[in-house]
Amino acid sequence: MAYLVRIASRAERDLASLYEQINAADSATAQRWYAGLKGAILSLAVRPNRCRVTPENKKLRQLLYGRKPHVYRVVYHVNGRRKQVDVLHIRHGARRKLRPSDLE
């Protein structure tokens, strides 16, 4: 049974900011990359536990997308009882570790 993938408002803002940063509106290559990222996020509906836990919090998992040096972390929580994946934050992989305030 597939999980419901919910994207938190913080993650929505992260996606919108990333779309602007990579200039996806004016670049077909950036648009394909962005669509691939969104597809990878939606793929969490199937086997969301396949990704590693985050080093900051063992209750959270991270999906890594992209190639170095352009790797992005999709931080999410899996609720097995509700069959739900909550995408909390999307950030560049080279950034500092998450703080609790980053997930608000």
Tell me, yes or no, if the pTM score tops 0.85. Answer: yes
| Strands 72-79 vs 84-92: parallel, antiparallel or unpaired | antiparallel
Query: Fold for domain 4-103?
Result: YaeB-like fold (3.30.2310)
Mean pLDDT of 51-62: 93
Length in residues, the chain? 104
Q: Write the burial class of residue 11 (CB in 10 Å: 0-12 exposed, 13-18 middle, 19+ buried).
A: buried
Predicted local confidence at residue 64, as pLDDT: 95
| Sequence ranges of the domains in the chain | 4-103
Q: Of all residues in the chain, what percent carry a pLDDT higher than 90?
A: 74
Task: State the average pLDDT for the chain.
Answer: 90
Predicted local confidence at residue 92, as pLDDT: 80
Mean pLDDT of 29-56: 95
